[in-house]
Amino acid sequence: MMSGGVFCARYSQTWGGDDTYGNATNFVYIAPMTYVYLLIAIASEVCATTFLKLSEGFTRPMPLIVTALGYGLAFYFLSLTLKTIPTGVAYAIWSGVGIVLIAAIAWLFQGQRLDAAAVIGIALIIAGIVVMTALSKAAAH
């Protein structure tokens, strides 16, 4: 047994990348670095989106450079994540966590107001990510 990783049951790709769709008996080892890559992708996207606002319509060069580099890093590390984690699951985590973090940053540092409906919506996004990753069979396909 490999240490430090996660085994996912009912996953459609074997560790070597051999596609065997429909075979529910495969187990895949998901290396811990895959989740590190996903976290880097999320952090890069959140940074890029924050600086996108600060670029004031691409009129300020430094925030524009940070935005471009951030999105480039985000997509690069997301592509590394997609080698192991199913696309729908990785994208749900990436976009959902990104939405929550961007809303928090905008609220804390940019004066955005969050009413009760916005907070409930954010809670539903978090709940959706938890349900999809922990309970859904789609997370394993």
- 72 is in which domain, residue-wise? 33-140
User: Domain for residue 11, yes or no?
Assistant: no
Q: Per-residue pLDDT tens for 27-42?
A: 455 678 898 999 999 9
Answer yes or no: is 23 within a domain. no
57-68, pLDDT tens digit by residue?
999 999 999 999
Does residue 106 belong to any structural domain of this protein? yes
pLDDT tens per residue across span 40-97: 999 999 999 999 999 999 999 999 999 999 999 999 999 999 998 889 889 889 999 9
Predicted TM-score of the model (pTM):
0.73
**Could you tell me if residue 9 is inside a domain?**
no
For residues 123-137, average pLDDT: 86
Q: Domain for residue 130, yes or no?
A: yes
Number of structural domains in the chain = 1
Angle among Cα 19, 23, 24 to the nearest 5 degrees reads 125
